Amino acid sequence: MRSFLSESLSTASIAVGVAMIPAATHAACPLALAVYGDAESEAGIDFRPTMDAVTVTNSFKMVLDKGVVLDGIVMWTSGVSRPHGSLMYKCPTGDVTGDELAACTVWQGVVYSADDKGNIALLAAESTDAPQSLIFPDLGPSLQMSSAFGANGFSKLPWDVFLLKGCQE
C-alpha cells in the first residue's frame, strides 16, 4: 500500500507536468475565412476568398435579420491608399452602369480594423490574419436610409463595430 506522502507527491508531480505542457495554440484565421458579428443587432459578416480578383482585395456577405443579405467588397483607392468598402443590396448582374451600381449601393466608406489592444489600422488584404474587430463608419445610419430597411427588409440596425467570432473551415 502506498503512503499518503508518496500519493501526494505523485499527484503533485502530475499537476506540475500538466502545467508545463504548452497550451494548444490555434492557428490564426486568414481574413478571407473570418466570421464577425455585431452584438447589438445579431448581424454577421462572413468573408470569402476573392478568387484572385485584380481590383477587389476582400469579399464578404453581411447577413442582417429577416434573411436580408448584403454583398460587400473592398477595393484599395489610388492616390491616398485606403480600403474603400461597398455594401450592395440586390444589384443587377452582368454589365451594369455606374448609375445602376450607385442605386443598389447601401453603404460605402473606409473599412478599419482594430486589434485586441484597441490599435486602429486600415483593413488589410484577405491573406493576412483576421483582426479582432472591424469598423464600418456610419453603417447604421446609411443602412437605415436604404431600400433594404423597413417593412419589407431588415428591422435591426447594426452598429459600426463587428467582433471576430470564428473562422470558417
17 found inside a domain = no
Helix (H, G, I), strand (E, B) or coil at 152: coil
Question: H-helix or E-strand containing 86?
Answer: strand 83-88
pLDDT of 163 over the 70 cut: yes
Per-residue pLDDT of 62-91, as tens digits, reads: 999 999 999 999 999 888 899 999 999 999
- Contacts by 134-140, CB closer than 8 A, 24 or more apart: 134/36, 134/45, 134/161, 134/162, 135/111, 135/160, 135/161, 135/162, 136/85, 136/107, 136/109, 136/111, 136/160, 136/161, 136/162, 137/109, 137/110, 137/112, 138/107, 138/109, 139/107
- pLDDT for residue 40: 81
Over residues 54-58, mean pLDDT: 86
Instruction: Using alpha carbons only, give the angle 15, 20, 22 rounded to the nearest 5 degrees.
Output: 125
7 found inside a domain = no
pLDDT of 10 over the 70 cut: no
Per-residue pLDDT of 117-155, as tens digits, reads: 999 999 998 889 999 999 999 999 999 999 899 988 899
The region of weakest confidence among 16-20, 25-29, 38-42 is 16-20
21 found inside a domain = no
Split into its structural domains, the chain has a count of 1
Instruction: State the pLDDT confidence band at 12, using cuts at 50, 70 and 90.
Output: very low
39 found inside a domain = yes
Q: Print the domain residue range for 64.
A: 29-167
148 found inside a domain = yes
pLDDT of 6 over the 50 cut: no
Over residues 50-65, mean pLDDT: 88
8 found inside a domain = no
CA 63/CA 69 separation, integer angstroms: 5
22 found inside a domain = no
24 found inside a domain = no
